[in-house]
Amino acid sequence: MLPSQPTRPQPYRAYRLPAFLLSAMLLAAVGVATVWGLREFASSSQWVEHSYQVLGEIEATVAATRTVESSARGYRLTDRSTLHAEYLTSIPGALSSAGRLVALTADNPPQNHLARDLERKVRARLTEIDRLVELHSRDPAQARIDAQTSKGYEQMRELTALAQVMRERERALLAARHARSEHRASLLTALVVLGIGLAMVLLALLMYSLWRENRRSRELERETRQALIDLEASASERHLLTERHRSLSHYAGLLQSCQNLQEAMDMTAHLIADLIPSIGGRCYILRASQNLAETAARFGEEKIVSADLLHPNDCWALRRGQLQQVQGDRGAVRCNHLEPARGGDDPRWNLCVPLMAQNTSLGLLCLSGEQPPQDADLLLIQSIAEQLSQAIVNLQLRETLRVQSLRDPLTGLFNRRYLEENLQRELLRCQRRKLPLSVLMLDIDHFKRFNDTHGHAAGDALLARVGQVLHDLVRNEDIACRYGGEEFTIVLPETDAATALKRAEQIRAAIGSTTILHLRQTFGPATCSIGLATSQDDRETPQQLLQIADAALYRAKGEGRDRVVDGNRALATA
C-alpha cells in the first residue's frame, strides 16, 4: 500500500459558505437595483419626452395664433377669398393646440393654470380677429378704423409673454428632470460597481481558497498516480529482465548445440529481433585471414545501412576492441562502413560491438535505430556478444579440426572434398549477387615421366613446390585445391574470364620458372597446362564448370601443353 499523505487544515474553510451567501446577496441586490434603475430611467425618459411635447405645443399654439392673425390681416387688406378660406381653416388649429397644451399640463397645476390663461388669451385674440373680419365684410372703412384702435397688439403681446413664461418654466422643469436622471444614473452606477466589486472580491477569495485546496488534491493525486506508474514500471521492468534472462539462458544452451557459425549467427539475429524489435542490423564474421568481415545474418530494419563486406580498419570497434556508439554527426568518429549521415539533427544512432575472445577479433555486431538504446538494451547486447564470441571460438576450433581433415598433407592445399563443399557455396553466392566465378584446372606436364625418371620422392617434392607456388599466387578469397595426382583446381570467385585468363597465365609462367632442390640435385623447371571455365548464368552447376575446365585442360595438352585454354571460348567456337 502507498503511504498516506498528511493533509493540512484549511484556515479559510469555515468562511466559505458565509462568503458565498454574502456574494449571492450582493449580486441579487445589484440585480434589483439594476431593474429599479432601468425602470426609473424609462420613467425619466418619459417625463423628458413629456416636457419636449409641452414645449412643442406652446410653440404650436403661438404659431397657429399668428397664422390666424396673418390670414385675417391679409384678407382685410386684399379681400382675396383664398386668404379668407385660409383664415377659417387655421382657427380650429389654434384652438386645438391650446386645448392639447391644457391637457398636457394637467399633471403640473402651475403650468396647467398658465396653459388655461394662454387658452383664454388665444380665444380672446381669435374673437377680436373674428370681429374685425365680420366688420370688414359689412363696412371695410369702419373695419380699418377699428383695427387701428383695436387691442389686438396688446393681446398678442400678452399672449406671447405668457407663452414665454411657460417655456421658461418647462425648460427649468426639463433641466431639473435631466439633473435628477443624471444623479440617479450616477448613484445606480456606483451601487452596481460597488456591489459587483465586493461580490467579485468575495468570489475571488472563495475561488482562490478552492483553487489552493484543489491544487493540493491534484498534487496528492499526481503523486499517487506517479507512484503507481513507477510501481508498474518497476514490475514490468523486473518481468522484462526475467524474460530476458530466461531467453539468454535458452540462447546459451542453443549455442552449444550449433553445428556451424551460420546457425549461431541466425540464432543471434532471431534473438535480438525478438528481445529488441525496435532496432535492426547485421552480424559479421571475420575470415580466417583477418582481412575481411562478411555479413552472416541480418535482423530487423537497418536505419543506417552498413556494407556487406568490410575491412577491419573500416570499423573503429574492431580497431579498438571496444564498443563504438554514434548518433548523427555527434559523438564518436563515424565508421567508414556506414552510410553517410543525413546532416543536421539526425536522431539515428549506430552501435558497433566487437566479437572478441582471447584478445582476438572474431566478428562484429552492427546495430542501428531511430532512438538511442536504453542502458538495459546495451547490457543485453553486450551479454549476447560475449556469449556469441565464446560460441564462435568453439565453432571455429571445431571447424579448424574439420578443415585439417580437408587439407592435402603434401601440398598444404585443400583436398577434393573441400573443393566439392565450397565450390557449390561460392558459386551460389556469386550467382545471387550477379557476379562471375572462374575455375582453373591445372596439370603438370609429363609428371609421370618425371616421377619414373627421378623417383617418387622427387615427384612429391615437385608437387609440394607447385602447391607452394599456387598458395603464394592465389588471393585470400580464392580456393586452391589438389584435385588428385598431379592435377590442381583453383576457384576464383568474383573473377570474369578475362581476368581469370591473366591469372592463369601468371600461374603458368610462375610454375614454368620454378626449380626444386632434392637430394642436392636441382630439377626443373616444369611446365603445366591449364583449362579455364567461367560461369555464364545462374543455372550452371559446379559439375558443369569442372567438366568445362577439365575438357579445356585436355585440349591444352592436346595442343602441345604449357598453355592456357579458355573452355567457354572453345565451346563457343566448336
Catalytic: which of 69, 119, 302, 486?
486
Three-state secondary-structure class, residue 566: strand
Q: CB-hemisphere CA count at 13 Å for 527?
A: 10
Length of the chain, in residues: 574
Q: How many CB atoms lie within 10 A of CB 514?
A: 17
> Pick from 400, 383, 387: which is nearest to 256 by CA?
387
Sheet holding 293-299, edge to edge: 309-310, 293-299, 280-286, 360-369, 349-357, 324-327, 330-331
User: Per-residue DSSP letters for 235-261?
Assistant: HHHHHHHHHHHHHHHHHHHHHHH-SSH
Peptide bond into 525 cis (omega under 30): yes
Contact, 296 vs 285, CB < 8 A?
yes
Strand partners, 521: 518
The set of cell numbers assigned to 269 is 539475429
Q: Are 298 and 317 in contact (CB under 8 A)?
A: no
Residue 442 · residue 529 · CB < 8 Å: yes
Phi first, then psi, for residue 6 (nearest 5°) are -65, 135
Any idea which residue has 565450390 for its cell?
423
Is residue 528 within 8 Å of residue 512, measured between CB atoms?
yes
| 201 three-state secondary structure | helix
What grid cell was written down for 312? 577491419
Q: What share of the chain is helix, strand, coil (3-state, %, to 5)?
A: 65, 15, 20
Note if 486 is an active site residue.
yes
Instruction: In whole angstroms, give the CA distance from residue 37 to residue 14.
Output: 36
State the greatest distance between any 2 C-alpha atoms of the chain, in Å, as a whole number: 193
Using CA atoms, how far residue 112 sits from 41, 124, 125, 169, 420, in Å, is 25, 18, 20, 11, 139
129 C-beta neighbours (distance < 10 Å), count: 25
Burial 352-381 (b: 16+ CB within 10 A, else e): bbbbbbeeebbbbbbbbbeeebeeebeebb
Q: Which of 90, 163, 176 is nearest to 120 (CA)?
A: 163
Rounded CA gap, 77 and 142, in Å? 13
Q: Which of 385, 191, 168 is nearest to 271 (CA)?
A: 385
Write out the three cell numbers for 555: 585440349
Cα(508)–Cα(528) distance, integer angstroms: 6
Give the C-alpha separation, 529 to 447, whole Å: 11
- H runs (alpha helix) in 258-338: 261-275, 316-320
Active site amino acids: 486
